[in-house]
Chain A
Amino acid sequence: MPDPMKIRATVQGDVADVRVLMAHPMETGQRKQGGKVVPLHFIQSITAQLNGKTVFRADISQAISRNPVFAFKVKGAKAGDKITVTWKDNKGESRTDETTVRGGS
């Protein structure tokens, strides 16, 4: 099973700042190891939900770095809300993690 993500969501006013760290090799299909090409292996889609409602969706390519970081803002979020993030890769693997929005300082 893929390694867990690390999600941080902090709210300032009614806008939540969400930062997601994903553990993924993000192989470009260009790299060689022991003379053999390492096959393409990358995250294709990312979805984020606020209390079950989709607020962010992205289709990405192998151009994104290994262990990528994504940051985005969500309007209308408040402390205690649930942010769920899901990624799916080209091998059909996926991972979903959830966090609770924290109040800002």
Chain B
Amino acid sequence: MRRALMLSLAAAIAAAAPWSPAKAQTEDPVAADFDKFRAIMEQANPAELFEVKGEQLWKTPRGPKKTSLEKCDLGLGPGVVKGAYAQMPRYFADVDRVMDAEARIVHCMITLQGFKYEDLAKRPFSSATKTPDPVSITTYVAAQSAGMKLAPSQSHPKEKEAYETGKAIFFYRAGAYDFSCASCHGVDNQRIRTQPLPNFTKPEQAIRAVQGWPGYRMTGGVMHTLQWRLNDCFRQQRFPEPDYASETLSALLTYLTANAQGQEYKGLGIKR
């Protein structure tokens, strides 16, 4: 039954919008097939369910203070969501630090709605049975920047500082395996099993740190954001896990996003 549905779905998509081979980013035939599979799956991405849910959460008065997030300033003015994700991480004067999208959303949930950081940080990542609210909200916010060029601001001294801090974290080798992010992501043509790893030090590949996130993971059917992605990278390196929505992660995201400056963000992704 499921197979029949998938086939009819695939056929319908093939008829409606033929996949363009120009989309393949690599000449490796295996990777090209994965790209093709992903392109088909993107046509009906369950991530959109979390976008819908996130939009509701954004607009509904919630939390101890019973307010919505519609006064939340994501950098383009209170309540402006469109295009905000593509311009983060950025410096926010009210907190005097650089914040990435999810960190800013968490900040708004705390200041506007009265949630507690400790509660939000207790179980910040999605499981089979629960998707935390900040994940859905980040998904909604990110989707409103689909098709826009990445333009994280790099004009404020704190933004430049965050970039340099992020860069230092990226190249910092430590832990049981004596690993750094750069061990895998600072060299060309690395891979883990069949998964080719992008070299984030190169602008044309750095986009892949941002592209496809927030993403829906078909294995287990869970929605994940970049906060989870970075956390899991540290876990795999056997590093201590960074604090949720911390300055550390905002700095690392600043480094990764600024390296991909000017490239198009395609919106929500879907993963194997």
Contacts and interface: CB of A to CB of B under 8 A. Distances in A.
Main SS of the interface on chain A? loop
Contacts of B31: none
B128 A64 contact: no
B33 to A, nearest CB: 20
Contacts of A61: 1
A4 B60 CA distance: 15
Nearest to A3: B53
Interface size class of B (residues with CB under 8 A): 20 to 34
B80 interface: no
B16 A17 contact: yes
Contacts of B56: 4
A21 B12 contact: no
B48 A72 contact: no
Interface in A33-73: 33, 38, 60-61, 63-67, 69-73
Contacts of B16: 10, 12, 17
B152 interface: no
A75 interface: no
Contacts of A3: 49, 52-53
B8 interface: yes
B89 interface: no
A67 B266 CA distance: 22
A43 B128 CA distance: 17
A25 B2 CA distance: 16
A23 interface: yes
Interface in B1-16: 1-2, 5, 8-9, 12, 16
Interface of A: 3-6, 10, 12, 17, 19, 21-23, 25-26, 31, 33, 38, 60-61, 63-67, 69-73
Top 7 A-B pairs ranked by shortest CB distance? A66-B221, A67-B46, A71-B9, A23-B49, A69-B44, A6-B48, A19-B44
27 contacts: A3-B49, A4-B56, A5-B49, A6-B48, A6-B49, A12-B16, A17-B16, A19-B12, A19-B43, A19-B44, A21-B45, A21-B46, A21-B48, A22-B49, A25-B128, A26-B221, A38-B129, A64-B1, A65-B218, A65-B221, A66-B128, A67-B49, A67-B216, A67-B221, A69-B9, A69-B46, A71-B12
Interface of B: 1-2, 5, 8-9, 12, 16, 43-46, 48-49, 52-53, 56, 128-129, 216, 218, 220-221
